[in-house]
Amino acid sequence: MMRGMGNMQGMMKQVQKMQKEMGQAQEKLNETEFTGSSTNDLVKVVFTGNRRMKDIQIKEEVVDPEDTEMLQDLIVMAVNDVLEKIDTESEKTMGKYTKGLPF
């Protein structure tokens, strides 16, 4: 009986260690900055890993009051680009902890 309890304690320590490592990895990911851009870098956006926008840069040549739809499309393209980068990095960073876990 004692043998099983020791094994359980060891397992709990491993789980606690993994939780701490996961928290640190998530925190680092949240602080990382990601840049997304549209075609020809006409619009660039900077997000942190926790999906907060920090900056947007729009080149003057795309600002046309007669064609706001093009600017909107470029912004959407840049935002989608950066979110895809965040998703990829999140999976790479956090996937090692969640692989095989049922959700």
Residue range 18-29: mean pLDDT, rounded = 92
Name residue 84's amino acid.
E
Nearest to 74 by CA among 85, 90, 60: 60
**pLDDT band of 7, cuts 50, 70, 90:** confident
> pLDDT tens digit string along 40-96?
999 999 999 999 999 999 999 999 999 999 999 999 999 999 999 999 999 999 888
CB atoms within 10 A of CB 62: 17
Residue range 91-103: mean pLDDT, rounded = 78
- Provide the pLDDT for residue 6: 72
- Provide the pLDDT for residue 5: 67
Residue 39 contacts residue 73 (beta carbons within 8 Å): no
Q: Give the integer Cα–Cα distance in Å for 73 and 76.
A: 5
CB atoms within 10 A of CB 42: 20
Nearest to 81 by CA among 39, 52, 50: 39
